[in-house]
Amino acid sequence: MIRVAVSGAGQMGRLVLDTVEAQADMQAVGVLEPMGAADPEHRLTSGTVLGVHADPGTLFEVARPDVVVDFTNAAFTPALVDAALEHGVRLVIGTSGVGAEVIERLRRGCAEAGRGSVYAANFAIGSVLQMYMATIAARYFDSAEIIELHHDRKVDSPSGTSLATARLMRDARGSDFVTNTPSLEHLEGARGASWGGVPIHSVRLPGFVASQEVIFGGTGQTLTLRHDSTGRDSFMPGVVLAIREVMQRDHLVVGLEGLVGLG
Ligand SMILES: NC(=O)c1ccc[n+]([C@@H]2O[C@H](COP(=O)([O-])OP(=O)(O)OC[C@H]3O[C@@H](n4cnc5c(N)ncnc54)[C@H](O)[C@@H]3O)[C@@H](O)[C@H]2O)c1
CB neighbours of residue 206 within 10 Å: 7
Q: Is 154 a catalytic residue?
A: yes
Same topology for domains 2-119+233-258 and 125-230, yes or no? no
123 with 130: CB under 8 angstroms? no
* CATH fold of the domain at 2-119+233-258: Rossmann fold (3.40.50)
Q: Which atom of ligand 1 is nearest to the CA of 7?
A: 39
The verdict on the CB of residue 54 being under 6 Å from ligand 1 is no
Cα–Cα distance between 146 and 148 in angstroms, integer? 6
Q: Is 227 a catalytic residue?
A: no
Confidence of residue 37 (pLDDT cuts 50, 70, 90): confident
Q: How far is the CA of 35 from the centre of ligand 1 (A)?
A: 11
pLDDT in tens, 140-164: 999 999 999 999 999 999 998 999 8
The verdict on the CB of residue 95 being under 6 Å from ligand 1 is yes
Pairing between β-strand 117-119 and β-strand 41-43 as defined by DSSP bridges: unpaired
The verdict on the CB of residue 229 being under 6 Å from ligand 1 is no
Q: Which atom of ligand 1 is nearest to the CA of 122?
A: 3
* pLDDT value of position 121: 86
* CATH fold of the domain at 125-230: Dihydrodipicolinate Reductase; domain 2 (3.30.360)
DSSP three-state, residue 130 = helix
Query: Using N-to-C axis directions, what is the helix angle for 77-87 and 100-113, rounded to 10°?
Result: 10
Does the structure show a pLDDT above 80 at 263? no
User: Of the residues 42, 150, 201, 227, which is catalytic?
Assistant: 150
Q: Which atom of ligand 1 is nearest to the CA of 160?
A: 43
Question: Where are the alpha helices (H) located in the chain, listed in sequence order?
Answer: 11-21, 56-63, 77-87, 100-113, 125-137, 160-173, 236-248
Hey, CA dihedral for 107, 102, 84, 29, is it positive or negative?
Answer: negative
Q: Which of 152, 155, 103, 162 is nearest to 127 (CA)?
A: 162
Q: Which of 81, 49, 4 is nearest to 240 (CA)?
A: 4
Pairing between β-strand 2-7 and β-strand 67-70 as defined by DSSP bridges: parallel
* pLDDT value of position 55: 95
186 Cβ contact list (under 8 Å, min separation 6): none
Ramachandran assignment for 97, one of left (phi > 0), alpha (psi -120 to 50 degrees), beta (any other):
left
> Taking every pair of C-alpha atoms in the chain, what is the biggest distance, in angstroms?
62
pTM of the model: 0.89
Q: Domain map of the chain by residue range?
A: 2-119+233-258, 125-230
Does the structure show a pLDDT above 90 at 165? yes
pLDDT in tens, 48-76: 999 999 999 999 999 999 999 999 999 99
